[in-house]
């Protein structure tokens, strides 16, 4: 470890080279900034954003709109489906506070470490019925709508129901189905739904073909019917939505979900769905200079962003130069410290042992961790710290902490291209994002996921099942807080973000991409706060990603020193990074993709952004 000199603020020494923003950011962006003051709807598919716009035009607020968008993108299989999980942050304009929505499913009662270990698993299954938690997204949607929305469930689900009757598939989804067809053939209900051309050269739907989901449509119709029956008996709007909730988790929908899960080898029981519930939570937060940043707690990787900001706050990032070698190195080392803590200490806060959250998020702990950074060379052996002294406690897992490096597999530098590609795909395992705001002051950021292709369909429900079980560990020595237990939530990568300035909304932002999510969100935030970019510039700006963190999927491997940078990174930056011990890999687009809203409190307006990485799309009024 080499100490860094303090010059005014903490300034890391560097050659007198700072770099101008790339040409693409100096003059224009590939997508326009969205300007509005009444409402805004952004998500992963144009049809999804259109669903949100429809709801706004019907008089809904931002919560109604995000629920409609969530239902639409689940129906469209935008890297998730109805059996997955939903995580959200909601700014309540009347209460002037941020509320967390915890709608992550839990491990079924028969899912134990012994069950998987006896079958030879090192980590739980990553595909099919054995990988499935209880479904979370339907419950999360209905609780959000009941508690904070304005419209009925029937109104909010109408766009998704139309899409379930028939949606025209774009090339990305159609081709993904074709790529995953061998897995889809393993499960009878998936085979029947996704492969209409069995026996032909192309068995998946063709781009432009109409994709029909009659079973899913019937399931959504059952929810609307349950709401309608409840309203006719004199129940309130809120009570009627919860009647639909009960039908999904305790009625005939739950029965078919469980029956088909067991038929296909899954572990669900009726009581697993009945006992699951959505939590309304107080999020965690930090103050970065004058900006309050809010994240969900340790059942996600959200606190990583807070830890990174605490580590970076004293450092003069502007003096390092945007995306200079020193800047990239600094963020890489900081992220690795925070992710090492994530991989050892994060887990479901509703299960023992209690996560040392107060210590992890303290500025004093960040100061101690910062002193261990090597400012000149990458440290491939970064370990978790010990936050317990910073909350007045003693670490109960010191032995596991000392032996921690031995518990993770590392992708060898000479790995075959197939192994390296599989690791990268798992590292970026899919999801989508949703952002919305309205002139009343409601703001919502969501990062839903699960049930991505290849999805195992749960019988005649039409619901694609989650694959999140794989994010647990089976060996407590690897992470005693995230060890598989029935009824427990795995620590997920999903991580929406809200930031307030002067106690008013400042940013709403999220990104898809598995273990790269918090890395890209950190860089997006700094692009705006430290480098003065507009929201669209920050969404499109070239980022970099560390693969030194442990993968949250499949084999949980790490690749120390692997650094993915934009292909336009200057040669002199590349050479400097190589000298610091990095192995460089290049991509054409490295922005995320990010979706975001920036609030102009002076004018009472907002600007929306969506990176040019994919087909994320926004509509504003």
CB 333 within 8 A of CB 285: no
**H or E element: which one contains 35?**
strand 34-36
Distance (Å, whole) CA 447 – CA 496: 5
* Whether pLDDT at 465 is above 60: yes
pLDDT at 451: 96
Identify whether 476 is part of a domain.
no
Q: For residue 574, how many C-alpha atoms fall within 13 Å in the half-sphere facing its CB?
A: 11
Mean pLDDT value of segment 353-359: 98
In 3D, which of 131, 128, 51, 16 has the Cα closest to residue 470?
131
Residue 430 has what pLDDT? 58
Regarding whether 451 and 594 lie in a shared domain, the answer is no
Same-domain check for residues 268 and 288 = no
What Å distances lie between residue 87 and 61, 136, 171, 337, CA to CA?
Answer: 19, 9, 28, 24
**Region at 280 (left for phi over 0; alpha for psi -120 to 50; beta for the rest):** beta
263 and 394: one domain?
A: no
Mean pLDDT, residues 239-254 taken together: 98
Looking at the predicted structure, is the pLDDT value of residue 395 above 90?
yes
Q: Do residues 451 and 515 share a domain?
A: no
Separation CA 342–CA 490 (nearest Å): 12
- Asked if residues 475 and 466 have their Cβ atoms less than 8 Å apart, the reply is no
Beta strand pairing call for 562-566 and 583-587: parallel
- CA gap 108, 270 in Å, rounded: 10
Helices (H), 58-203: 62-75, 113-118, 137-148, 153-165, 171-179, 181-184, 188-194
DSSP code string of 419-446: HHHHHHHHHT--B--EEEEETTS-EEEE
406-434: per-residue pLDDT in tens?
Answer: 666 666 666 565 555 554 554 445 579 99
pLDDT exceeds 60 at position 232: yes
d(CA 599, CA 124): 42
Residues 555 and 588 placed together within one structural domain of the fold: yes
Residues 337 and 399 in one domain: yes
**pLDDT confidence of residue 607:** 98
Q: What is the DSSP letter of 4?
A: P
Q: Name the band, by pLDDT with cuts 50, 70 and 90, for residue 615.
A: confident
Q: Which two tokens stand for residue 408?
A: 């993770």
Is 118's pLDDT higher than 90?
A: yes
How far is it, in rounded angstroms, from Cα 386 to Cα 382?
13
Nearest to 573 by CA among 544, 551, 593: 544
Is the Cβ–Cβ distance between 152 and 145 less than 8 Å?
Answer: no
Do 509 and 466 lie in one domain? The reply is no
Predicted confidence band of residue 14 (pLDDT cuts 50, 70, 90): very low
In a domain, 332, yes or no: yes
Rounded to 10 deg, the angle between the 137-148 and 237-250 helix axes is 170
Give the pLDDT band (50/70/90) at residue 11: very low
Residues 389 and 537 in one domain: yes
For residue 68, give the nearest of 157, 162, 163, 165 by alpha carbon: 157
Instruction: Evaluate if residue 3 carries a pLDDT over 90.
Output: no
pLDDT tens-place string over residues 292-343: 999 999 999 999 999 999 999 999 999 999 999 999 999 999 999 999 999 9
For 260-278, what is the mean pLDDT? 98
If you average pLDDT over each of 20-34, 349-363, 392-406, which comes out highest? Answer: 349-363
Residues 272 and 285 in one domain: no
Give the whole-angstrom CA distance, residue 468 versus residue 250.
22
pLDDT of 403 > 50? The answer is yes
Site of tokens 């499109």: 540
Backbone angles phi, psi at 170, to 5 degrees: -80, 170
Locate the DSSP E strands across 465-577: 497-501, 504-511, 545-546, 562-566
Residue from 441, 84, 495, 5 nearest 299 by CA: 495
Residue 27 clears pLDDT 80, i.e. is over it: no
Show Cβ contacts of residue 148 under 8 Å, excluding neighbours closer than 6 positions: 61, 63, 90, 92, 99, 442
Instruction: Give one DSSP letter per residue of 189-231, joined into a string.
Output: HHHHHH-TTTTSS--SPPTTPEE--HHHHHHHHHHHHHHHHHH
pLDDT at 405: 79
Is residue 508 pLDDT above 50, yes or no? yes
The whole-angstrom separation of Cα 273 and Cα 587 is: 42
- Packing angle, helices 62-75 and 46-57, rounded to 10: 150
20 has pLDDT over 60:
no
Query: Is the pLDDT at 23 greater than 90, yes or no?
Result: no
Whether 459 maps to a domain, the answer reads: yes
What is the Cα–Cα distance from 412 to 615, expressed in whole angstroms? 34
CATH number where 580 lies = 3.60.20.40
| Number of domains into which the chain is organized | 2
User: Is residue 9 pLDDT above 80, yes or no?
Assistant: no
Considering the domain boundaries, does residue 205 fall inside one? yes
Are 261 and 288 in contact by the 8 Å Cβ rule? The answer is no
Evaluate if residue 464 carries a pLDDT over 70.
yes
What does the DSSP 8-state code read for residue 331?
Answer: H
pLDDT at residue 411, as a whole number: 64
Cβ-contact 505, 443 below 8 angstroms: yes
Q: Give the integer Cα–Cα distance in Å for 309 and 334.
A: 9
Residue-averaged pLDDT of the chain: 93
- Inside any domain, residue 437: no
Here the tokens at position 342 are: 């994530």
294 & 149 share domain: no
CB 434 within 8 A of CB 70: yes
Tokens of 61: 């607020």
Q: Of 74, 173, 178, which is closest to residue 432 (Cα–Cα)?
A: 74
* pLDDT exceeds 60 at position 5: no
User: 534-563: per-residue pLDDT in tens?
Assistant: 999 999 999 999 999 999 998 899 999 999
Residue 9 is assigned to a structural domain of this protein: no
- Confidence label for 495 from pLDDT (cuts 50, 70 and 90): very high
Please state the pTM of the whole predicted model: 0.94
Contact 306, 366 (CB under 8 A): no
> What is the distance of C-alpha 165 from the center of its chain?
28
> Residue 145 above 60 pLDDT?
yes
Helix (H) or strand (E) holding 260: helix 252-263
Residue-wise DSSP of 473-496: BS-TTT-TTSB--TTPPP------
State the average pLDDT over residues 370-394: 97
**329 and 219 share one domain:** no
Handedness of CA 476, 511, 304, 331 (dihedral sign): positive
**pLDDT computed for residue 128 by the predictor:** 97
Let me know whether 463 and 574 are in one domain. no
Q: How far apart are CA 81 and CA 364, in angstroms?
A: 41
Q: What is the mean pLDDT of residues 25-42?
A: 87
pLDDT tier, 614 (very low <50, low <70, confident <90, very high otherwise): confident
Is the backbone peptide bond immediately before 454 cis, with ω within 30 degrees of 0?
Answer: yes
pLDDT tens by residue, 587-602: 988 888 899 999 999 9
Please say if the pLDDT value at position 182 is more than 80.
Answer: yes
Rounded (5°) CA angle 21-23-29:
95
Predicted pLDDT at 26? 42
Report the first-to-last Cα separation within the chain, whole angstroms. 52
Residue 42 lies in a domain: no
Chain-centre distance of CA 74, in angstroms?
A: 15
Closest CA to 293 of 80, 113, 505, 107: 505
The answer to whether position 563 is within a domain reads yes
| Burial environment of residue 389 by CB neighbours within 10 A (0 to 12, 13 to 18, 19 or more) | middle
Of 563, 479, 478, nearest in space to 519 by CA: 563
User: Mean per-residue pLDDT for 130-156?
Assistant: 98
Which structural domain, as residue segments, surrounds residue 386? 14-33+281-431+489-620
pLDDT at 423: 45
Q: How many Cβ atoms from other residues are within 10 Å of residue 168's Cβ?
A: 13
Q: Which residue has the higher pLDDT, 430 or 262?
A: 262
């Amino acid at each position: 470890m080499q100490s860094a000199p303090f010059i005014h603020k903490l300034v890391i020494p560097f050659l007198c080279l700072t770099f101008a923003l790339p040409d693409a950011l100096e003059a224009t962006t590939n997508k326009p900034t969205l300007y509005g003051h009444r409402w805004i709807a952004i998500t992963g598919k144009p049809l999804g954003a259109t669903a949100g716009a429809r709801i706004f035009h019907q008089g809904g607020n931002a919560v109604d709109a995000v629920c409609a968008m969530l239902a639409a993108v689940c129906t469209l299989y935008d890297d998730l489906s109805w059996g997955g999980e939903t995580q959200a942050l909601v700014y309540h304009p009347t209460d002037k506070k941020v509320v967390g929505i915890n709608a992550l499913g839990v491990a079924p009662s028969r899912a134990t470490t012994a069950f998987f270990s006896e079958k030879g698993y090192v980590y739980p299954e990553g595909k099919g019925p054995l990988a499935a938690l209880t479904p979370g997204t339907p419950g999360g949607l209905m609780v959000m709508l009941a508690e904070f929305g304005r419209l009925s469930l029937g109104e909010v689900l109408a766009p998704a129901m139309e899409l379930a009757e028939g949606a025209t598939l774009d090339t990305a989804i159609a081709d993904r189905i074709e790529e995953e067809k061998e897995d889809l053939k393993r499960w009878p209900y998936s085979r029947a739904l996704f492969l209409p051309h069995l026996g032909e050269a192309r068995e998946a739907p063709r781009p432009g073909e109409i994709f029909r989901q009659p079973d899913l449509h019937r399931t959504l119709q059952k929810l609307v019917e349950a709401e309608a029956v409840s309203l006719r008996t004199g129940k309130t709007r809120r009570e009627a939505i919860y009647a639909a909730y009960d039908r999904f988790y305790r009625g005939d929908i739950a029965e078919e979900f469980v029956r088909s899960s067991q038929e296909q080898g899954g572990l669900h029981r009726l009581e697993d769905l009945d006992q699951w519930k959505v939590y309304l939570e107080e999020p965690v937060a930090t103050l970065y200079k004058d900006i309050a940043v809010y994240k969900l707690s340790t059942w996600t990787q959200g606190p990583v962003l807070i830890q990174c900001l605490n580590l970076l706050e004293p450092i003069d990032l502007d003096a390092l130069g945007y995306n200079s070698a020193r800047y990239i190195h600094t963020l890489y080392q900081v992220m690795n410290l925070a992710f090492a803590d994530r991989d050892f200490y994060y887990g479901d806060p509703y299960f023992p042992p209690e996560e040392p959250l107060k210590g992890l998020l303290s500025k004093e702990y960040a100061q101690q961790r910062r002193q261990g950074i090597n400012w000149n060379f990458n440290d491939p052996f970064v370990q978790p710290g010990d936050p317990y002294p910073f909350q007045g406690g003693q670490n109960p897992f010191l032995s596991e902490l000392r032996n921690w490096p031995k518990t993770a597999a590392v992708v060898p530098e000479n790995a075959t291209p197939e192994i390296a590609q599989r690791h990268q795909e798992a590292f970026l395992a899919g999801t989508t994002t949703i952002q919305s705001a309205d002139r009343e002051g409601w703001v919502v950021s969501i990062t839903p996921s699960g049930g991505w292709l290849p999805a195992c369909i749960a019988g005649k429900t039409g619901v694609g099942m989650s694959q999140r079980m794989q994010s647990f560990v089976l060996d407590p020595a690897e992470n005693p807080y995230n060890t598989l237990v029935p009824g427990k939530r795995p620590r997920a990568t999903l991580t929406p973000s809200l930031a307030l300035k002067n106690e008013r909304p400042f940013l709403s932002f999220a990104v898809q991409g598995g273990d790269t999510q918090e890395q890209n969100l950190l860089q997006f935030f700094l692009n705006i706060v430290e480098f003065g970019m507009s929201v669209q510039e920050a969404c499109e700006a070239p980022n970099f990603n560390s693969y030194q963190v442990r993968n949250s999927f499949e084999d949980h491997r790490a690749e120390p020193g692997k650094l993915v940078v934009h292909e336009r990174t200057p040669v002199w930056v590349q050479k400097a990074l190589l000298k610091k011990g990095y192995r460089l890999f290049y991509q054409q687009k490295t922005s995320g993709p990010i979706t975001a809203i920036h609030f102009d409190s002076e004018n009472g307006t907002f600007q929306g952004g969506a990176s040019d990485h994919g087909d994320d799309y926004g509509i504003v009024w």
